[in-house]
């Protein structure tokens, strides 16, 4: 079993009379990438800030890299990397100068297994800022600034990396490069990653586990496929026959498609199977929590406007 990097038991946070976190349990092992999802106000930021040591909790036990973040040492802080959602300091610093300066703080905590800091020019190249290495921060575009934020987060070669909306402002190429970077950190350096994002496609692509936080508790924990199975999400099958379009929500898409061809054969055209997406699954999980309902195996994800007709077929 991999080493436990984050262990949280009965985490609680109260603001006035409101319980934002109401008994969160969480365990993350070394080398995992987890994504924390939840509606606004669910307590994602509060949870992350407690794990980072930026916020005192109201109750519960928290261990991150073996220490309580509320009383952690400087050596512990050297093992943490953080990419904030927005960061606008040091506008007159140049990219290379700032990274070299920040890297010096990590030097006393380097080891043979994890030398610190990273080579600055190698890091600049890795995040795609070679052509901007001598530019002042105030001159960087939004995308370039976000690349720098990522570089700042990993200059100390962290064991645990927190990423808050890391690809906001990235174009598709930069987003792909970032995903490659994260995979490299995990595969080559055994870095553990905790990610918060509103980009569910990104969460599905990067995360080993997805945690859904709602009502101050973790209400779901698993891979995207596992969460879809948990809510018994149905696939949407679309096809044409005799010039008409049909759509059907199916528990077993393979069996349903087989029955279509048995019944109608070559009359079936434009067949398409749409599996439930992570967004579908996430929305249903949150809805179940808010309404107190249990998963409905007959609910599916077909939109009401799509469903009409009889005999298991629906026309548009």
User: Which tens digit of pLDDT belongs to each residue from 92-119?
Assistant: 899 999 999 999 999 999 999 999 999 9
pLDDT of residue 303 exceeding 50 = no
pLDDT band at 73 (very low <50, low <70, confident <90, very high): very high
pLDDT in tens, 3-31: 999 999 999 999 998 999 999 999 999 99
List the structure tokens of 271: 């067949």
> Does the bond joining 117 to the residue before it have cis omega, within 30 degrees of 0?
yes
Instruction: Report whether pLDDT(42) > 90.
Output: no
pLDDT value of position 297: 39
Structure tokens at 206: 């990067």
**CA torsion angle for 176, 179, 181, 186 (degrees, to 10)?**
-160
Rounded mean pLDDT of 77-89?
85
Q: Which CATH number is associated with domain 4-222?
A: 3.40.50.300
3-state helix, strand, coil in the chain (%, to 5): 40, 25, 35
Using the predicted structure, report yes or no on whether residue 292 has a pLDDT greater than 70: no
> Using CA atoms, how far apart are residues 283 and 295, in angstroms rounded to an integer?
12
For the full predicted model, state whether its pTM sits above 0.85. no
Mean pLDDT over 215-227 rounds to: 86
Domain residue ranges in the chain: 4-222, 232-306
175-189 residue pLDDT tens? 899 999 999 999 999
């Amino acid at each position: 079993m991999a080493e436990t990097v984050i262990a949280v038991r009965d985490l609680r946070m109260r603001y006035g009379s409101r319980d934002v976190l109401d008994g969160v349990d969480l365990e993350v092992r070394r080398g995992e990438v987890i994504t924390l999802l939840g509606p606004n106000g669910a307590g994602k930021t509060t949870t992350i800030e407690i794990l980072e040591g930026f916020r005192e909790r109201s109750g519960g036990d928290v261990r991150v890299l073996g220490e309580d973040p509320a009383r952690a040492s400087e050596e512990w802080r050297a093992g943490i990397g953080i990419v904030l959602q927005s960061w606008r300091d040091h506008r007159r610093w140049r990219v290379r100068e700032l990274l070299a300066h920040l890297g010096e703080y990590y030097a006393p905590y380097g080891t043979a297994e994890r030398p610190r800091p990273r080579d600055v020019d190698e890091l600049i190249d890795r995040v795609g800022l070679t052509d901007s290495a001598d530019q002042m921060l105030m001159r960087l575009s939004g995308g370039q600034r976000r690349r720098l934020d990522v570089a700042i987060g990993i200059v100390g070669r962290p064991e645990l990396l927190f990423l808050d909306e890391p690809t906001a402002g990235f174009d598709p190429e930069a987003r792909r490069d970032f995903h490659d970077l994260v995979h490299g950190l995990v595969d080559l350096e055994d870095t553990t990653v905790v990610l918060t994002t509103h980009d569910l496609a990104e969460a599905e692509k990067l995360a080993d586990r997805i945690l859904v936080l709602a009502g101050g508790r973790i209400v779901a924990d698993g891979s995207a496929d596992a969460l879809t199975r948990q809510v018994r999400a149905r696939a949407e099958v679309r096809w044409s026959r005799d010039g008409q379009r049909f759509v059907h929500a199916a528990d077993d898409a393979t069996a349903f498609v087989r029955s279509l061809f048995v019944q109608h054969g070559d009359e079936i055209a434009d067949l398409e199977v749409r599996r439930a997406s992570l967004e579908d699954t996430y929305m249903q999980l949150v809805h179940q929590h808010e309404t107190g309902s249990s998963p409905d195996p007959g609910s599916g994800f077909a939109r009401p406007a799509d469903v009409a007709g009889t005999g298991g077929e629906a026309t548009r």
